[in-house]
Structure 1
Amino acid sequence: MALMITDECINCDVCEPECPNGAISMGEEIYEIDPDLCTECVGHYEESQCVEVCPVDCIIVDPNHQETEEELRAKYERITGESA
Structure 2
Amino acid sequence: MENIELRLLEEINKLQRFALKTPIDSKNFWRDWQIIFTNVRFSQIAVRNLLENEHLSKEEIEYFKKKLQVLKEIGHYLKEL
Fold shared per TM-score above 0.5: no
TM-score by length of 2: 0.24
Name the one with the larger strand percent.
1
Higher relative contact order (CA 8 A, sep 6+): 1
The structure with the largest alpha-carbon Rg is 2
TM-score by length of 1: 0.23
